[in-house]
């Protein structure tokens, strides 16, 4: 009897160990919950306390992962705001958000690309709503299902995430800023099955235009041979914010749901944008090192030099066009004359 119990115990133990170690989501899930309870993210030192400046035409401050604070002249725009240390209630950021919300003096627009936890935090949106009730919240059609009401004005844009719909979706002008929903091939939803099985709508990229400045934000997307050429031919893009991860094979175009480093480089070519800031890495550990996508991007950019990844003509070497920022770092692209 004792022998039987011992044998059953050993079998259960082996199955448990194989499951925990062999199953990546289980292993990462257990590790993440432990970390989110007992650990803290790496601190960002020297955070910028005055991110909005009078003499700037275009600047971008990378808060971390996909959160970016843009200044286009007198307009302040926050993209995919996630400021919390623990994302989705269980996943601890590797590095804290590189900007304190209290240091944002004013805010005109908040853009959310889709409702996934790493792009849309209800806690952060509530804090933003308290501080900036007169801002406008822009979302893709379908994402409204994952949001409560706010004092902020919620504006929903029709998306066009296919060739049949022409890649360019609805445009709305808010306080002089033109925002257009553009192609992104990803998922809507927020809670697992709704994203991966039910295929609910609600993801987009954005084109933001104001006073002769055009910024492109890809959202989460995958590589498409045609879509970014169409967008690049229609808009003269000054700055493109393009996701580079997560990727296991970073020297590829990417998976069905995300761009990898090489894919991001190709999108940059096809958009014919003046500058690119890579996003969607650093804060979350998907595989091993959360910074691998940007290391590979840097390596690829050095290898290609002045030759383009797609064979298209590029106006300057990648080393000049691609600006890799640290969490909390701001780059000023254009000053007022």
Partner 1 sequence: MKKPRTFLALIFLLSIKLSSFAQDNTDYGKMYTSWALFQLVPSPVIFQDSDNRNSKVQFGLRWQLIPLNISFRSNKYTTAFQFFKINPVRRFTGSMDIFVQPEWSLTGFKYSGLSRFGISAGSRLIFPIKGDGEKISFSLGGKYTHRKDALTGKNGYWSAEGGIYFLFGFVGLQFSYNFDDRSKYNIGFYLKYF
Enumerate binding residues for partner 1 (CB under 8 A).
Answer: 84, 89-90, 121-123, 125-126, 141-142, 144-150, 154, 156, 158-162, 165, 190-191, 193-194, 197-201
As measured in angstroms, the least distance from the Cβ of 147 to partner 1 is 6
Considering the complex, state which of residue 46 and residue 149 has its C-beta at the smaller distance from partner 1. Answer: 149
Non-local CB neighbours of 92 within 8 Å, separated by 6+ positions: 32, 35, 36, 39, 40, 41, 85, 86
The SS3 call for residue 114 is strand
As measured in angstroms, the least distance from the Cβ of 186 to partner 1 is 12
Considering the complex, state which of residue 39 and residue 151 has its C-beta at the smaller distance from partner 1. Answer: 151
Q: Is 230 exposed, middle or buried (0-12, 13-18, 19+ CB in 10 A)?
A: middle
Considering the complex, state which of residue 146 and residue 268 has its C-beta at the smaller distance from partner 1. Answer: 146
Considering the complex, state which of residue 150 and residue 287 has its C-beta at the smaller distance from partner 1. Answer: 150
As measured in angstroms, the least distance from the Cβ of 300 to partner 1 is 32
Phi and psi dihedrals of 4, rounded to 5?
-65, -45
Considering the complex, state which of residue 66 and residue 204 has its C-beta at the smaller distance from partner 1. Answer: 204
As measured in angstroms, the least distance from the Cβ of 169 to partner 1 is 8
As measured in angstroms, the least distance from the Cβ of 175 to partner 1 is 19
Q: Is 29 exposed, middle or buried (0-12, 13-18, 19+ CB in 10 A)?
A: middle
Under a CB-based contact definition with an 8 Å cutoff, are residues 277 and 60 in contact? yes
Considering the complex, state which of residue 167 and residue 318 has its C-beta at the smaller distance from partner 1. Answer: 167
Under a CB-based contact definition with an 8 Å cutoff, are residues 274 and 239 in contact? yes
Considering the complex, state which of residue 81 and residue 142 has its C-beta at the smaller distance from partner 1. Answer: 142
Neighbours of 16 (CB within 10 A): 10
Instruction: Report the interhelical angle of 227-234 vs 261-271 (nearest 10°).
Output: 40
As measured in angstroms, the least distance from the Cβ of 172 to partner 1 is 14
Instruction: Report the interhelical angle of 2-22 vs 24-38 (nearest 10°).
Output: 80
Q: Which of 273, 213, 223, 270 is nearest to 244 (CA)?
A: 223
Alpha-carbon distance of 253 to 207, in angstroms, equals: 22
Strand 91-92 relative to strand 86-87: parallel, antiparallel, unpaired? antiparallel
Alpha-carbon distance of 111 to 139, in angstroms, equals: 6
Transcribe 19-54 into DSSP letters.
HHHH-HHHHHHHHHHHHHHH--PBPPSS--S----T
Considering the complex, state which of residue 109 and residue 265 has its C-beta at the smaller distance from partner 1. Answer: 109
As measured in angstroms, the least distance from the Cβ of 183 to partner 1 is 11
As measured in angstroms, the least distance from the Cβ of 79 to partner 1 is 20
């Amino acid at each position: 009897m004792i022998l039987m119990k011992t044998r059953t115990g050993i079998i259960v133990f082996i199955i448990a160990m194989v499951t925990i170690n062999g199953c990546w989501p289980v292993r990462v899930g257990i590790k993440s919950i432990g970390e989110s309870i007992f650990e803290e993210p790496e601190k960002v030192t020297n955070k910028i306390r005055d991110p909005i400046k009078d003499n700037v035409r275009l600047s971008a401050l990378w808060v971390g992962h996909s959160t970016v604070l843009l200044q286009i002249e007198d307009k302040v725009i926050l993209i995919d705001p996630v400021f919390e240390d623990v994302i989705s209630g269980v996943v601890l950021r590797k590095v804290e958000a590189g900007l304190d919300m209290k240091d944002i003096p004013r805010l005109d627009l908040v853009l959310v690309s889709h409702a996934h936890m790493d792009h849309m935090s209800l806690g952060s949106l509530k804090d933003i709503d308290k501080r900036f009730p007169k801002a406008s919240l822009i979302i893709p059609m379908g994402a409204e299902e994952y949001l409560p009401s706010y004092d902020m004005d919620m504006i929903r844009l029709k998306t066009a995430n296919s060739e049949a719909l022409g890649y360019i979706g609805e445009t709305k002008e808010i306080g002089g800023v033109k925002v257009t929903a553009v192609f992104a091939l990803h998922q809507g939803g927020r809670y697992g099955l709704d994203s991966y099985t039910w295929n609910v709508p609600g993801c987009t990229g954005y084109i933001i235009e104001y006073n002769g400045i055009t910024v492109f934000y890809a959202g989460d997307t995958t590589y498409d041979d045609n879509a970014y050429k169409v967008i690049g031919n229609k808009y003269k893009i000054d700055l493109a914010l393009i996701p580079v991860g997560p990727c296991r094979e970073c020297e590829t175009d990417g998976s069905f749901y995300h761009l990898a480093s090489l894919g991001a480089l190709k999108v940059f070519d096809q958009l014919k944008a003046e500058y690119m800031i890579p996003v969607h890495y650093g804060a979350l550990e998907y595989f091993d090192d959360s910074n691998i996508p940007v290391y590979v991007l840097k390596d690829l950019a050095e290898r290609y030099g002045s030759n383009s990844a797609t064979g298209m003509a590029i106006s300057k070497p990648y080393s000049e066009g691609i600006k890799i920022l640290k969490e909390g770092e701001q780059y000023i692209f254009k000053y007022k004359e």
